[in-house]
């Protein structure tokens, strides 16, 4: 199949899935218990790996940037650089990539297994909407938890940067904190929360779509899982550029 035609068909199917989810939110039952369970799996389950990623990302930013800043006598601005990099770009993107690898693969594999074992068909036969029962709770969980996970990654990234700056380079903690405050403003915080919402939408839709369209038995489950992670990661990186450009236009070029 022509790659462009295949892309357009996939986009149409994903859009149709999103529309079914939005329509399902207006109808009962809404499966609140399932949403809470998914939030636990997405949020609490991913907290450890997100915190670890943020902490060492902040640490390595200081480790690499501090000698250069010191050479130019600007080491007091080290915290500002970490805050700007983490809150506006690295925090949202790295968190989304970690969640795509952990949660996106899990969603695709779970739904794909239900497809090949004909549980989805049985659900439809009983009059239950798979989009409302399976997709909506996972999508809601990602939309709620990913911004919170990003905030946790940002916080521990700043903490990791401060520890490295103080313990390895001897930078005064108060100087670091003051510099972080300089690099943190309301527009940066808004940007750091808006991006994860879109990233969560991408991860949820792509993973659920790939899981529900699994073909070829158990081998197809593995293929769908791989495609879900790869496509989600690529879409996150590409969409980050366009989101940054749009937010830059809305909030001003000096803020990015």
With respect to residue 20, please indicate whether it lies within any of the assigned structural domains. no
Residue 19 lies in a domain: no
- d(CA 80, CA 184) in angstroms, rounded, equals 8
Helix (H) or strand (E) holding 25: none
Q: How many domains does the chain have?
A: 1
User: Residues 43-88: pLDDT tens digits?
Assistant: 999 999 999 999 999 999 999 988 888 888 888 888 888 998 999 8
Residues with Cβ within 8 Å of 169's Cβ and at least 6 positions away in sequence, in order, are: 62, 66, 70, 75
Spatial contact of 51 and 153, defined as CB atoms under 8 Å apart: yes
pTM comes to 0.91
Whether 65 is covered by a domain: the verdict is yes
Angle between the N-to-C axes of helices 173-182 and 78-85, in degrees from 0 to 180, rounded to the nearest 10: 50
Phi/psi for 2 (5° steps) reads -55, 130
User: Per-residue pLDDT tens for 102-128?
Assistant: 999 999 999 999 999 889 888 888 888
Q: Which residue has the tokens 């690529």?
A: 234
Residues 6+ apart with CB under 8 A from 31: 132, 133, 136, 137
The helix or strand, by DSSP H or E, that contains position 225, with its residue range, turns out to be helix 217-251
Whether 221 maps to a domain, the answer reads yes
Cα four-point dihedral sign 93, 98, 101, 104: negative
For residue 16, tell me if it sits in a domain. no
Q: Is residue 84 part of a domain?
A: yes
Flag residues of the chain having pLDDT under 50.
Answer: 254-256
Decide if 4 is inside a domain.
no
23 in any annotated domain: no
Task: Pick the closest to residue 46 from 110, 95, 107 (CA basis).
Answer: 95
Domain that holds residue 172: 31-255
């Amino acid at each position: 199949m022509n790659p462009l035609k295949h892309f357009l068909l996939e986009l149409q199917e994903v859009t149709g899935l999103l529309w079914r989810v939005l329509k399902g939110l207006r109808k009962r039952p809404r499966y609140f218990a399932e949403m809470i369970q998914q939030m636990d799996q997405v949020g609490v389950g991913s907290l450890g790996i997100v915190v670890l990623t943020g902490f060492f990302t902040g640490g390595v930013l200081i480790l690499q940037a501090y000698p250069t800043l010191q050479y130019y006598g600007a080491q007091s601005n080290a915290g500002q650089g970490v805050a700007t990099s983490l809150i506006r770009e690295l925090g949202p993107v790295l968190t989304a990539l970690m969640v795509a690898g952990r949660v996106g693969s899990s969603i695709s594999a779970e739904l794909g297994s239900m497809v090949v074992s004909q549980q989805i068909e049985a659900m439809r036969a009983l009059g239950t909407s798979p989009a409302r029962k399976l997709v909506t709770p996972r999508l809601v969980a990602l939309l709620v938890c990913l911004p919170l996970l990003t905030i946790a990654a940002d916080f521990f990234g700043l903490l990791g940067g401060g520890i490295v700056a103080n313990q390895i380079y001897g930078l005064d903690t108060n100087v670091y904190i003051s510099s972080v405050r300089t690099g943190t403003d309301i527009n940066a915080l808004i940007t750091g929360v808006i991006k994860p919402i879109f990233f969560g939408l991408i991860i949820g839709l792509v993973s659920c779509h790939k899981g529900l369209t699994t073909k070829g038995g158990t081998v197809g489950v593995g293929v769908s899982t791989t495609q879900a992670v790869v496509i989600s990661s690529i879409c996150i990186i590409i969409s980050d550029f366009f989101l940054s450009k749009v937010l830059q236009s809305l909030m001003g070029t000096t803020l990015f």
